[in-house]
Amino acid sequence: MRSILPKGESRKRRSIAVRAIACVLVALLALPFAGCSASPNATGGTAGSQEYTVSVSLAGGSGRASIASPTTIVKDGDAYTATITWSSSNYDKMTVDGVDYAPVNDGGNSTFEIPVTLDEDIAVSAETVAMSTPHTIDYTLHFDSSTMKEKSGDEASGGSPAGTASNAAADFHNADLGCGWKPTGTLQLEYAEHFTVDEYEGGLRLICISNGERFLVVPQNAKVPDGLSSDIAVIRRPADKVYLVSSATMCLVDALDANDNIIMSGTKADDCSVAGFKSALESGAIAYGGKYSAPDYERISASGCTLAIENTMINHTPDVKEKLQKLGLVVLTEQSSSEPEALGRVEWIKLFGVLFDKEDEAAHLFNEQKARVEQTSRLASSGKTVAYFYINSNGAAVTRRAGDYVAQMIELAGGNYALDDAQTASTSGSSVTLEMERFYATAKDADIIVYNGTIDESVATLNDFVGKNALLSQFKAVKNGNVWVTSADMYQQMTSTADIIDELHGAFTGDDASDFHYLRKLG
For residue 334, what pLDDT is reported?
97
Q: What are the φ and ψ backbone dihedral angles of 202, each rounded to 5 degrees?
A: 80, 15
Higher pLDDT, 433 or 420: 433
Has residue 64 got a pLDDT over 80?
no
Instruction: Pick 479 or 69 by higher pLDDT.
Output: 479
pLDDT at 20 over 70: no
Question: Does the predicted TM-score (pTM) go above 0.95?
Answer: no
Residue 166 has pLDDT above 80, yes or no: no
User: DSSP string of 179-233?
Assistant: SS---SEE---SS--SEEEEE-GGG-EEEEETTS-EEEEEETTSPPPTT--TTEE
Tell me which of 246-250, 278-282, 418-422, 496-500 is least confident. Answer: 418-422
pLDDT tens digit sequence for 297-337: 999 999 999 999 999 999 999 999 999 999 999 999 999 98
Q: What count of Cα atoms within 13 Å lies in the side-chain half-sphere of residue 335?
A: 25
Where does the pLDDT of residue 89 fall: very low under 50, low under 70, confident under 90, or very high at 90 and above?
Answer: confident
Burial bucket for residue 379 (CB in 10 Å: 0-12, 13-18, 19+): middle
pLDDT band, very low/low/confident/very high, at 70 (cuts 50, 70, 90): confident
Q: Is the pLDDT of residue 152 over 90?
A: no
Q: What local confidence, expressed as pLDDT, does residue 170 receive?
A: 41
E strand residue ranges, 302-349: 307-310, 330-333
Q: What is the amino acid identity at position 262?
A: I
Tell me the mean pLDDT in the region 463-471.
Answer: 95
Question: Domain 182-372 is of which CATH architecture?
Answer: 3-Layer(aba) Sandwich (3.40)
For domain 50-150, give the CATH number. Answer: 2.60.40.1850
For residue 482, give every residue at least 6 positions away whose Cβ sits within 8 Å of its Cβ, in sequence order, or none: 447, 448, 449, 521
CA distances from 344 to 4, 209, 351, 374 (A): 11, 14, 12, 13
pLDDT higher than 60, residue 22: no
**Three-state SS for 141?**
strand
Give the Cα separation of 294 and 85 in Å (integer). 13
Residue 318 neighbours by CB distance under 10 Å: 15
Average pLDDT over residues 34-59: 61
pLDDT at 163 over 60: no
Model confidence at 33: pLDDT above 80: no
Q: Which of 43-47, 56-60, 184-188, 230-234 shows the lowest per-residue confidence on average (mean pLDDT)?
A: 43-47
The identity of residue 307, as a single letter, is L
If you average pLDDT over residues 280-288, what whole number do you get? 98
50-150 and 182-372 in the same fold = no
Question: What pLDDT does residue 60 have?
Answer: 80
Residue 161: the pLDDT is 28
Q: What is the mean pLDDT of residues 130-139?
A: 71
Among 37-51, 156-170, 286-300, 344-358, the least confident range: 156-170
Q: What percent of the chain has pLDDT over 90?
A: 66
- For every residue of 388-442, DSSP letters joined together read EEEE-TTS-EEEE-TTSHHHHHHHHTTEEESS-TGGG-S-SSSEEEE-HHHHHHH
Whether 93 shows a pLDDT value over 60: the answer reads yes
pLDDT on residue 39: 32
425 in the Ramachandran plot: left (φ > 0), alpha (ψ -120 to 50) or beta? alpha
Which class would CATH give 379-521?
alpha beta
Q: What is the pLDDT of residue 491?
A: 79
Higher per-residue confidence, 193 vs 132: 193
Interatomic CA distance for residues 308 and 215, integer angstroms: 13
Beta bridge partners of 309: 244, 332
What distance in Å separates the CA atoms of residue 420 and residue 443, rounded to the nearest whole number? 11
Average pLDDT, the chain: 86
Domain boundaries, the chain: 50-150, 182-372, 379-521
